[in-house]
Amino acid sequence: MALHPDAGKLAPKSILVNIPRLISEYYTKIPDTKNPTQRIAFGTSGHRGSSLLGSFNENHILAVTQAVCDYRREAGITGILFMGMDTHALSYPAQLSALQVLCANGVSVYIAKDLAYTPTPVISHAILTHNKNSDVLCDGIVITPSHNPPSDGGFKYNPPHGGPADTDVTDWTEKRANALMENGLQEVKKITLDEAFASAYFVEYDYVTPYVDDLQNVIDMEAIAKSGIFIGADAMGGSGMAYYSAIKERYGLNMEVFNDTLDSTFSFMHCDKDGKIRMDCSSSYAMAGLVAMKEKYDIAFGNDTDFDRHGIVTKSVGLMNPNHYLSVAINYLAQNRPLWKSNLGIGKTLVSSSMIDRVADALGKKVIEVPVGFKWFVEGLTNGTVFFGGEESAGASFLRKDGSVWSTDKDGIIMTLLSAEILATTGRDPGVHYLELTQKFGAPIYARIDAPATLEQAKKLKNLNALDIKATTLAGETIEAILTHASGNGAAIGGLKVVAKNGWFALRPSGTEPIYKIYAESFIDEAHLNQIQDEAQEIVSALF
């Protein structure tokens, strides 16, 4: 995908989304249930779409919320439902629609005080802390399309384990929700908004205090405060805006918080590589504004809109590649959490850097490689068999200091604060730590290419098998493995991975956007990486 002329530049006013139109069409546009693009479809993390395209409208939310209520009854879940939302313009009306259905179904809904914003990891944390000491199980909903453009909306369900719902739940919910829409929403229970607000089932809840107070049990907050390091916290207009200010006050941090006021056009963002506004904290183009300020702070960071992803900016290297930071975080945590059991493993997605494998090998730790999707780390984090689960797309979580579970969804807040802990306790920022790792294990070059994909093409890529690949070499090296299932748990990749001695690539369609992705890595040089990418694209062209 060619670089757009606006990539890395402040978003021009001409591309800012029309918020009144976006919300108006949420309520007025009726989805065509016969059109596949306008049906409810759960990707790797919930249903996403836009009211402008007929893929995220009130009918979708009424139907999918009723489907969640029906699923809860089937599963015997009778506890609190914790609901959060991010700052995308469509999130607020979607939360109100969901509230009308939940209260009509007799579900006790806990929503942030004053209908404020609540990050994804805070919902996971709330579910787990309440379920720990109760036989009545709680679950949650987060209204968010993650880092997607401002015109998008999203809806995801977290069952009682606190993490993203697995396919058995999402398939059931998706099927039920589409059936409800096809039947004209006749089976959807709904009360008026005034009735919902007056209902005993509607509860305003303080999410901020318990989460912020508990941070000291997963991060060395005292060390950060004592060090006096100057921290730049870019809230990026997201759902965690109030959290960084509360963290600063609670722990006495030398921290400047900015972009912490609501702007659902996200006009302060710099354009991503395709010229769109996308709150992707792992993109050097989207994060150009924070990178330009890297000399001002000892460490700086930002988060995507629902605060489940992290972007780390250091004086030494600027914005860190997510794979680089994951490697540093794993290496540091394994050696600085004395209460953790020695036999804990490391969870990584199969498209994450092989640097993680080399670090793990040196630490004597087992790597559990899984398909893309944080749901694959839920069990390991819950039962304490892995201390860390991380994705190449800048999402990760890890255990509390005592080795118990903190969250089973990605937590961008603890990942950003960990970068400050690393600097505070070692005197070297994570960028320097990564350079030290490359001196030991080599310097891999990693890249991802995105390209448009139709629904038909995405389906074909999702169902590839090893026999579809005719090549026997990759960039001059013998192909050692062609994987369609992850080695760590045997689950289908939804694409495939081709591995040679000093490089690999993986193909998979996006679960959230109409694109496919080619991930590639070389432990030799840039030319070798380019050759891997070229051969991967030739394979894709032959398939289409």
Alpha-carbon distance of 145 to 242, in angstroms, equals 20
* H or E element in which residue 73 lies: helix 58-75
| Residue 228: Cβ within 10 Å count | 11
Spatial CA neighbour of 474 closest among 525, 516, 520 = 520
Three-state DSSP at 234 gives strand
Alpha-carbon distance of 345 to 38, in angstroms, equals 41
Spatial CA neighbour of 197 closest among 109, 308, 82, 309 = 109
Alpha-carbon distance of 461 to 450, in angstroms, equals 14
Alpha-carbon distance of 446 to 532, in angstroms, equals 11
Q: Kindly name the residue from 50, 55, 124, 146 that is annotated as catalytic.
A: 146
Alpha-carbon distance of 417 to 300, in angstroms, equals 10
Q: Is residue 146 annotated as part of the catalytic site, yes or no?
A: yes
Return left, alpha or beta for 246; rule: phi > 0 is left, psi -120 to 50 is alpha, else beta. alpha
Alpha-carbon distance of 474 to 481, in angstroms, equals 11
The answer to whether 60 and 93 have CB atoms below 8 angstroms apart is no
Q: Which residues are identified as catalytic?
A: 146
